[in-house]
Each structure stands twice: as C-alpha cells, then as structure tokens.
Structure 1
Amino acid sequence: MNEHLKKIHPLSWTIIIGTIFGRTAISMSIPFLSIYLIRSMGATPAETGVVVAVSSLIGVFASFYGGYISDVIGRKKVLFIAISGWVLVFAGFAFANKIWIFFVMNALNGLCRATFEPTSRALLADITPKESKLLVFNLRYAAINLGVVIGPLLGLQVGASSSNRVFLIAAAVYACYGICLVLQFWRYHELGQANKHHEQRLGLAGALKATSGNRTFMLVLIGMIFCLLGYGHFDSTLAQYMEMSPRMEEGVKWFSYLLSLNAVVVLTVQYPLVRLAARFAPALPIIAGNLFTGTSLVLFGMFDTLPLLMVCVVIFTIGEVLTFTATDVLVDRIAEPGLRGAYFGMFGFNNFGAVLAPLLGGFLLEGLGVASSQLIFAILGLTTIIGAPFLFMAHRSLQQLEQRRAEQEGKHIVSS
C-alpha cells in the first residue's frame, strides 16, 4: 500500500484533496436545493424536479464533448474553464431570486460538472501507473464521500434549506481549488497538454462512433443509466418526500443526518467491499449494487422512523459502493488510450438516469401524493433493478472479449 501511495503524482493528490473541499461545498448546498425551492420559493414538486433534473440533463449531452475536447485541447485548459465557470455559477445561485434563474444556474452547473468530471478522471488515468489506478480512483471516491460527510452537516448549520447565501461559500472554495490547480500545472507544465503528435486523432463523430460501437461498453452504459436512476432518488425524491410528509416533522434535519450517514458508511465499508469485489469479474459487483439500491428504495417507502430509515441508508450505501467503486477502472480498461477522455465523457451519458430520477420522483409525488409512499418507492425500486439484466449481458460480453484477446495474443506469440 505504501509503495503505491508513493507512486501517486502530486497533481493527483491535488485533485483528490481538492475533491474533498469541492464536494463539501457542493454537499452543503446542492442537496438542499429542492427543499429550498419548495420552502422558500414556493415551487411545486414538479417544478422542483425540473430545476434539479436540468443539471443532469445538460450533463448527459455535454459530458461526451467535455471528455473528447480534453483529448484535443488538453486536460489543463478544460479543467481551468470548468473551475472558473463553477465559481460564477455558485455566485449566481447566491443572488438568484427567481425559479427560472435557479434553472439557468443549475443548467450551467451541469455543464461545468460534465466537463470537469470526465477530464479530471482522464487526467488521473493519464498520470497514474497501471498498478496504482484502482487505488487512485478509490481515493478519489473516498474523497467525494468525505466531503459528503461534512457538507450536509455544515449546510444544516448555516441554514442551506432556507437561505441561498451558502452558495457564496461554495464559490470561494472552488476559487481556491482553481488557484491550487494553476500552481500545480505551473510546476508540472508538461502535464495536461494536448497530444499534438497523435497521428490518428479522430474527429468528434469518429470518436462517438468508436465508443458507441463498443458493445461491452454500451451494455455497461445502459445498465449504469438504471443504476443512476436509482441512486438519483436519494438527493431528489427522498429529500422532497421527507420535506412534504406529515409523518416526519423534522424531515429536513433527518435528511441531513441520512446524507452524512451515507457518506460515513461509504468510508467505513469501501475498503473491505473493494477487496471483496476485486475477487470477481468487474460487472458482478455492479449487479449486486444495483439490486441493493433497488431493494433499499422499496424499503424507504415502507418506513417513517429515523432508525429504520438509517437501516435503509446502510443498504442503499452498500449498493452505492458496489456499483461505483470500480466503474472508473472498468472504463479505463475498455478505453483506447488515444480516446480515454472520449470514453470517460461518453460514460457521462449514464447521467440520463440522474435526469429521470427527480422528474419521475417529482411527478409521482405530485400525482399520487406522499400518502402513497409505498407504491411510489416500489415503482422507483423496480425501475432501478431493470439495469441488472443489461449488466449481466455486459459481464458475458466482457468474458467473450477477453477470451478473443487472449486467443489473438496466443496466435501472435506462436507466429513470432
């Protein structure tokens, strides 16, 4: 372990540590957005669902281009543009006083995330030795969840559910993150540049064709859309439900506790689950995670006391860890080196599930009412589990792909 830690590049550490502070800033503001819109802006659940969903909707269509363009103009430029945009977006949230302004700001928030996330992951893959990639990607995942532990509690303390001034803090955090990246890239100026000598650089259409033509990758992507559909209900549908339900007088406070519990459980179980998942083919833990997530959603609709809801969060979080802990490594394994950014960007289409989550949840809450919570969350759970068959087909496809590769390597060795 120590040997692998020593191999991690200082720029990777900057991204990992920056992720802690960035996710803290996001988690103390964005998860409370739906509650703030309902409580302070008078928005309906359907309107709130549209505002929350637009971020992921923009991410679906911009993520591929964001990852691809980093292959063309370099990771560094894309990261600087995204960070600068985030500072302006969070400042805009802080001064927004109309629902349509929140809609625009959240759309831009999705655009920044769609460019920053695939680019930062591609950069980590670029500068990390193969034997250390699983460690680096899981350190980044742990950093995300450490930020999510701290963020909701801070958000509750500063009144994020009733004031949008908390977004000024998020803007300041991302400004500091951007300055740190500038200093690191100044020190390691050779990193994050465009590969100008790549003779077979594909255009945008060619990159799209290359990624979409990979059957294994597409099956994983479709399965992950349903995984994101289930995962997205935690921050959107569950938050609205706990705010609106007359059976939960302290729903906002409980939701903050559940957010922090989710992150604490991730940090607690991540290492043992990663070691366990490493023993299996990569798609199998994702299938198990999908089933855990779907089951937890069904249970959320059945319980209305904090201890039982906390049990649901533990089940949900186990599913989350199993689902997401190896996806970056899997994408890196499938991707062609010259199109790594494009593959990570294309994988952003899984956010289509996150688009549907607040829309589906919001319309079900408004159409059926919070009194029908068991039916609503049963529908949410069952739609999540639809992803399992696609992931199983991806598992079989990956086995066949690896068998063909092994046969080709064997023939090459014999002929040489």
Structure 2
Amino acid sequence: MKGIRLRIHPVGWNIILGTLFSRMSVSMSIPFLSIYLTQVKGVSPALTGIIVSVSSLAGIVMSFYGGYLSDLFGRKIVMITSVFCWALVFVSFMFADSVLAFFVINALNGLCQSIFEPASRALLSDISKEENRLKMFNLRYTAINIGVVFGPLLGLRLGAAKTALPFLFAGFTYFLYGLSLVFSFRKFKLDENIRKENKTTIATAFNVTRKDKVFLITLLGVILSISGYAHFSTTLPQYFAAKIEDGVTIFSWLLALNAIVVLIVQYPIVNIMKKFPPIHSIILGNALISFSLLFFSLSANPFIWGSIVVFFTIGEVLIFSMVDMLVDEIAKPGFKGTYFGAAGFNRLGNVIGPWLGGILLSFFGVNGSFYMFLIIFITTASGIPVLFLAKKHLDKSGRLKVDVTESHRS
C-alpha cells in the first residue's frame, strides 16, 4: 500500500474515501426504495419501476452537460456545488409522502449524480499518471463495493424497507463529503502540469461525441449490458420479496455477498484482463450477467441464488472495472470531461432495466418468472453483437492501448 499511496494525490485519496462512505450510506437506502414503495406506500410494481428508473433518466438528460460543465468551469466548483445539492436531495426523501414527491426527488438524485460523477472521474484521471489510471479507477470501484458490503446490512438494521430514515444518514454523509472536498481543494494544490481542458461551446463538445462513431457504438453495447445489471437492485428485490418469505432479508445478504465477491475477485480479474483491450472484458461480463439472470428463474433456493450471484458479480466486475478505462482511452484530447459526461448515457440501461422488469413482473408475476427472465436475458445479451461490432471499429481505429507488462497499468 505504501507504493500506491506515494503515487496518489491527496485529493485522489479524498475522492476514494468519500466514495466509500457516501456509497455505504446510499446502499443503506436506495436499494430498498423499490420495496419501500411497493410494501409501505402501496405503489404498483410497474409504477415503482418508473419511479426508480427516473433517477437514471434524469441523469441521462444531464450527464453530457455535467461532464461539459466540468471542462468549462473546472472540476472543483462543479463537484462542490453538486455534492451539497445532493446532500439536500437525500434529506428530502425523509419528507416525501406521495408518488409525485418520490418521482421528483429521485429525478433530482439522478441529476446531482450526473453532474458530480463525471467531474470526479475526470479529476481522478487529471491527477493520475497514465500508467496509474487503471489502478485509480479500480481503487474507486473497490471503495464503492466496500461501502456496499456494509450499507445494505446497516440499512436492514435501520428498517430501510419500512422507513425513510436511512436517507437522512445519506444526506449527512454527502454533506461531510462536501466539507472534506472544500478542505482538500484549499489545502492541496493540483499538479500545475495538469492539462486544462479547452473552453469550447456546448455545441462543439456535443458534435465531437455525436460524430464519434466508435464511441457511440461502444456506448450502445455498454447500455444494453448495464440494463441487465440494473435488475439486481430493482427487479430482483421485488421478485425475491414476492417469491419467498423473508425475501427482503435474503436480498440484503445477497447484496452483501455481491460486494464481498467484488472485493475478492476484482484485482485478480483486473490483473488478467488488463492484458486485453477493455472491450473484451465488457463482452465477457455481459455474457455472465445475461445467463445469471436467466438462471434466477430456475430455483427458489436462497443458496442457489447465492451461487448465481457469484457469477453475476464476476460479470459485473468484468464490465465496471474497465468502463472508465475504456472511456479514458477513447476520449479525444481536450474533451475528457465531456466524454466522461457523455458516457453517463450508459445509465439509459438503468432506465431500461427497472422499466422492463416492472412491466414484466406485473404481467407475468412470480409464477411466470421463467418467461420474464427469458425476455430480460434476450434484452441484455443483445449487447454482445453490438460490442463485437464496436470491437471491430476499435481495432481499425487503433485508439485502444494494451499493456501486457506489470509495470504499465499497475
């Protein structure tokens, strides 16, 4: 760890630690939102899917602008402003008492995330040497999953499926995160050699990504892959709760298992897959997630579900450990924040997943789960041929860099 610490800017550590605690607080609340809405507020599964997915829909609308704003005004001001607004949004969940209120507040949740996250990832790239960026992105991913190990269990203990109290904790955590960023930005100067992004117009930034065929095809494949992953925190908890008694408790343990497996397999997988272009990892991850979702319909045994979660999680790691690196390598000079922002359109998968899952669950019910998961499987797996097409264009473009030595990417 000492060698790693010496190569990471103090602001980078602030972002990584802030990510750990903020994601822990979010995983105490957001994963239980669908259960809370259906079982406490009496909202239908289809409408719950819409409420849950609106966060991603709002993020999609704003994600490009969020990344662009960080290029235009700088990472610091965008991150500080959005994180404090985010804190207020989570506190607002405590006072929501209608479908409309939850809809609006969750939309604002997605809005804040779409502004803060591209700026924070772009800043991590800015303050990292090229050979260390994969490690930085994966340290952030590790922090997310450490938080998710404990968050669901804490949320369960606080009665997250029956009360909105955990949202108050999330708001307080983001407020502290914001204060820590203010302190870090004042105390630690960023590397003076960091390249400043071009001050381009929004139209120019939009055209750069719109005309980038390689990026757009890749993005479509990632969207379809993430649509499958999104079912884990939206469709599956509703399915488990309706399928068996104590389904909420089982889901909490499966969430924790998911995060533990990530921590165990992440770095071995990264060490293997860093020898190949990132898109290879994403293709394999899509296949594992697709088949895992189909297998959930074949059993009602929690232990078998746990086994399936292990394979699902490996697929998740294969995708998410490489997405940021893929975007970083594809991004054109001067538009890194814009590309990370445009990559936020992959959250369309988080809209497709809950929306499709809610409709299928309402139509088929738990008794027709095989057909429900079969349709989900087909939708997710359709991303594989798209990703192969993207790989073909990436090979021709020569925009991906692959290092097979330990000294590069480690």
Alignment TM-score > 0.5, same fold = yes
Q: Is the 8 A contact 2:27 2:155 kept in 1?
A: yes
User: Contact 2:237–2:251 at 8 Å: present in 1 too?
Assistant: yes
Partner of 1:323: 319
Q: Is the 8 A contact 2:289 2:316 kept in 1?
A: yes
Which residues of 2 match residues 104-183 of structure 1 at below 5 A?
104-183=104-183
Within a 5 Å distance, the mapping from 1:251-262 to structure 2 comes to: 251-262=247-258
- CA-based RMSD of the aligned residues comes to 1.7
Does residue 364 of the first structure (1) align with residue 356 of the second (2)? Answer: no
Structure 1 residue 266, shift from structure 2 partner: 0.3
2: CA distance between counterparts of 1:29 and 1:316? 22
Flag structure 1 segments of 5+ consecutive residues without an equivalent.
406-416
Equivalent residue of 2:398, what SS?
Answer: helix
For 1:285 and 1:19, how far apart are their aligned partners in 2?
Answer: 24
CA distance in 2, matches of 1:309, 1:301: 9
> Aligned equivalents of 2:399 and 2:328: distance in 1?
19
Q: Secondary structure at the match of 1:325?
A: helix
CA shift in 2, pair 1:49/1:8, >3 Å: same
Contact 1:368 1:376 in 2 (8 A): yes
Asked if 2 retains the 8 angstrom alpha-carbon contact of 1:222 and 1:390, the reply is yes
Contact 1:4 1:132 in 2 (8 A): no
Aligned counterpart in structure 2 of residue 240 of structure 1, from 238, 258, 269: 238
Question: In the aligned structure 1, how far is the partner of 2:174 from the partner of 2:277?
Answer: 37
Q: Answer whether contact 1:118 1:344 (CA < 8 A) is retained.
A: yes
Structure 1: distance between partners of 2:145 and 2:399: 36
Letter of the aligned partner of 1:324 in structure 2?
F
Rounded to whole Å, the distance in 2 between the matches of 1:45 and 1:167 is 21
SS at match of 1:42: coil
1:411 matched residue in structure 2: none
Instruction: Report the counterpart of residue 408 of structure 2 in structure 1.
Output: none
Q: Report the residue type matching 1:253 in the other structure.
A: T
Question: TM-score, with normalisation over the residues of structure 1?
Answer: 0.93
1:342 aligns to 2:316 (yes or no): no
Q: Does 1:93 align with 2:89?
A: no
By how many angstroms is 1:5 displaced? 3.4
- CA 1:403/1:107 → structure 2, altered by over 3 Å: closer, same or farther? closer
Deviation at 1:201, TM superposition (A): 3.2
Aligned with 1:351 (options 336, 347, 353): 347
Preserved contact between residue 72 and residue 200 of structure 2 (Cα < 8 Å): no
* 1:228 paired residue number: 226
State how 1:374-389 maps to structure 2 within 5 Å: 374-389=370-385
- When Rg is computed on C-alpha atoms for both structures, the one with the higher figure is 1
Percent identical across equivalent pairs? 47
Partner Cα separation in structure 2 for residue 139 and residue 337 of structure 1: 24
Counterpart-to-counterpart distance in 2, 1:45 and 1:231:
18
Superposed CA offset, 1:234-273 (max 9, x none): 000001111222xx10100000001000000000000110
Structure 1 residues 347-367: Cα deviation after superposition (integer angstroms, max 9, x where no partner) = 000111111111100011111
Tell me whether 1:59 sits opposite 2:59 in the alignment. yes
Hey, what's the Cα distance between the residues in 2 that align with 1:300 and 1:6?
Answer: 44
Aligned residues: 400
Q: Tell me how far 1:403 sits from its aligned partner.
A: 8.2
Secondary structure, in 3 states, of the residue corresponding to 1:161? Answer: coil
User: Shift in Å at residue 404 of structure 1?
Assistant: 11
- Give the structure-2-normalised TM-score: 0.95
Seen in structure 2, the aligned counterparts of structure 1 residues 99 and 315 have a Cα distance that, compared at 3 Å, is same
| Deviations, residues 16-64 of structure 1 (Å, cap 9, x unaligned) | 0110100000000000000000111010001101110100000111011
Runs of 5+ in structure 2 lacking a partner?
402-410
Aligned-partner residue type, residue 383 of structure 2: G
Instruction: Give the CA deviation at 1:191.
Output: 7.0
2:202 to 204, 210, 230: 204
Does the 8 Å contact 1:83/1:174 carry over to 2? yes
Measured in 2, the distance between the counterparts of 1:304 and 1:404 equals 43
Q: Deviations over 1:254-312 (max 9, x none)?
A: 00001000000000000110011112222111100000000000001111111000011
SS of structure 2 residue aligned to 1:338: coil
Which residue, 250, 261, 264 being the options, matches 1:268? 264
Q: 2:295 matched to which residue of 1?
A: 299
Match of 2:273 in 1: 277
**Structure 1 residue 29 and structure 2 residue 29: aligned?**
yes
| 8 A contact 2:10–2:188 mirrored in 1 | no
Q: Which residue of 2 aligns with 1:408?
A: none
Does the Cα contact within 8 Å between 1:95 and 1:165 map onto a contact in 2? Answer: no
Q: Is the 2:285–2:314 Cα contact (8 Å) retained in structure 1?
A: yes
